[in-house]
Amino acid sequence: MSDVLSSVTGVPPATLPVAVPQPKAIDLATLKRGAKDYLDFADETKEIFFAYLYHRAGSVSLAKTLLSEIYLDALSGALSVWHFGSLNLTVLLDRAELAIRERSAADADIDAVYIPSLVWLTVEERASVATLHESLWTLPKEPQRLLILSMLVGLSDERIAELTGTAVGRVTSGLQAARELLLTRWQPIVSLQSKLQSLVFEPGFDLTAETALRFALVEKYNELRMRRYQWVVIGGIFAVLSNVIVASVLAFTVVVAPPTSLRSTRTEVASLDAVLLKREMELRDAKKAVSATFSETQRIAAYGVSRDLTALGLASALEALKTQQEQEADINRLMKLLKRADTAFENTIIKPIVVAMRSVYDLL
């Protein structure tokens, strides 16, 4: 590391300050299991990933910035409810591709940091290596990724397969094809072609940056965990309110518009009500007809009775009239007899009798 620092800063190792500020310690006992697991993952991959970022972006400062952003972004994704995959180096490499596309490579320091570190190469070989990264960045994603991890970071095929979750045979065949593709775009000098495995360079990852990264990860984890609890509480409240609303809507629907079975029953009841109403109307009409018939019968009977009474009265009147007429005839006959007797006898005997007879006749 001292050689790297001297090549970067231009200051010999003996002149570096001895006193280094002590980082604030992280109490792992207070961490949750998820945060500790992610810190272990970061400790295992941070140096390799930082070296990859440097050779992919071409700048130490940009690599440090991207390192923190990508680890925090990966932590957010790992704690998401939609994350179902495993957490490995491939996840970091994929996120690095997206992040580097949005950044500018104008502040690349390959010539100032990487090339001077290759002290075992000749000047001509270092001049040839200076064009390596430009050619490397034009390759497709997979060949470029394998070449950086193998040729510039110095990982073995087995280690690459372990970190990326890929079969070793696939890594080996992919590296062979990637080297052939690289040599079609980058023409190193002949002496350098046999030294491709000596181009390894890992920029120094200082303790201050490492501690800042760990604290940022712990704070991000706590923030995400608290946010998850908040969402759980909000989800619970929403679920309760949703159940209340759904129950109210269902109750209202049953009351206003009952289900099909209730509606059919209600229709049947309405049909029965209509039939009963029709029967009541027919019964009322029948009663009206019977009442009218009875009234007509009574009227006819009364007319018959009155007619009978009239006939009876007429017969009685005729009988009385006949009797009266007979009486009058008898009286007239008697009067005639009396007149005759009066004429025949003296008026002194007969006259009082005639007067009495006339008064009786007048009374009759």
DSSP 118-151: -TTS-HHHHHHHTTHHHHHTTS-HHHHHHHIIII
Is residue 250, in this structure, part of any structural domain at all? no
Evaluate whether 75 touches 35 at the Cβ level (below 8 Å): no
* DSSP secondary structure code for residue 18 in this structure: S
Is residue 248, in this structure, part of any structural domain at all? no
| Structural domains in the chain (count) | 2
- Cα–chain center distance at 85: 27
pLDDT computed for residue 181 by the predictor: 93
pLDDT computed for residue 4 by the predictor: 37
The answer to whether residues 76 and 223 belong to one domain is yes
DSSP 294-361: HHHHHHHHHHHHHHHHHHHHHHHHHHHHHHHHHHHHHHHHHHHHHHHHHHHS-HHHHHHHHHHHHHHH
Is residue 244, in this structure, part of any structural domain at all? no
CA distance 316 to 322: 10
What angle, 0 to 180 degrees and rounded to 10, lies between the N-to-C axes of helices 33-57 and 60-78? 140
The residues of the chain scoring below 50 in pLDDT are 1-31
The answer to whether residues 272 and 216 belong to one domain is no
The answer to whether residues 71 and 136 belong to one domain is yes
For residue 12, which of 22, 23, 4 has the smallest C-alpha distance?
A: 4
The answer to whether residues 102 and 213 belong to one domain is yes
The answer to whether residues 8 and 155 belong to one domain is yes
Helix ranges restricted to H, 17-88? 33-57, 60-78
Is residue 238, in this structure, part of any structural domain at all? no
The answer to whether residues 220 and 271 belong to one domain is no
pLDDT computed for residue 18 by the predictor: 37
Evaluate whether 100 touches 59 at the Cβ level (below 8 Å): no
The answer to whether residues 206 and 171 belong to one domain is yes
pLDDT computed for residue 11 by the predictor: 38
CA distance 201 to 117: 8
CA distance 110 to 163: 26
**Which pair of tokens denotes residue 323?**
């009797």
Domain stop point among 218, 233, 248? 233
- In the numeric block, the tokens 């052939």 are attached to 180
Q: pLDDT tens, 199-223?
A: 999 888 778 888 888 888 888 777 7
CA distance 197 to 261: 81
The answer to whether residues 210 and 356 belong to one domain is no
Q: Which residues have C-beta within 8 Å of that of residue 361, sequence separation ≥ 6? A: 331, 335
Domain stop point among 233, 252, 276? 233
Is residue 224, in this structure, part of any structural domain at all? yes
pLDDT computed for residue 344 by the predictor: 62
The answer to whether residues 10 and 80 belong to one domain is yes
Evaluate whether 145 touches 153 at the Cβ level (below 8 Å): no
What angle, 0 to 180 degrees and rounded to 10, lies between the N-to-C axes of helices 207-256 and 60-78? 30
| Structural domain of 320 | 260-363
The answer to whether residues 277 and 356 belong to one domain is yes
Is residue 241, in this structure, part of any structural domain at all? no
The answer to whether residues 357 and 293 belong to one domain is yes
For residue 39, which of 63, 6, 12, 72 has the smallest C-alpha distance?
A: 72
- Provide the phi-psi class of 83: left if phi over 0, else alpha when psi is between -120 and 50, else beta: beta
pLDDT computed for residue 153 by the predictor: 93
Is residue 316, in this structure, part of any structural domain at all? yes
CA distance 113 to 109: 6
Evaluate whether 110 touches 133 at the Cβ level (below 8 Å): yes
Evaluate whether 310 touches 303 at the Cβ level (below 8 Å): no
Domain stop point among 187, 215, 233? 233
pLDDT computed for residue 150 by the predictor: 93
CA distance 193 to 344: 205
**Which pair of tokens denotes residue 151?**
């040729």
pLDDT computed for residue 349 by the predictor: 58
The answer to whether residues 49 and 166 belong to one domain is yes
Is residue 252, in this structure, part of any structural domain at all? no
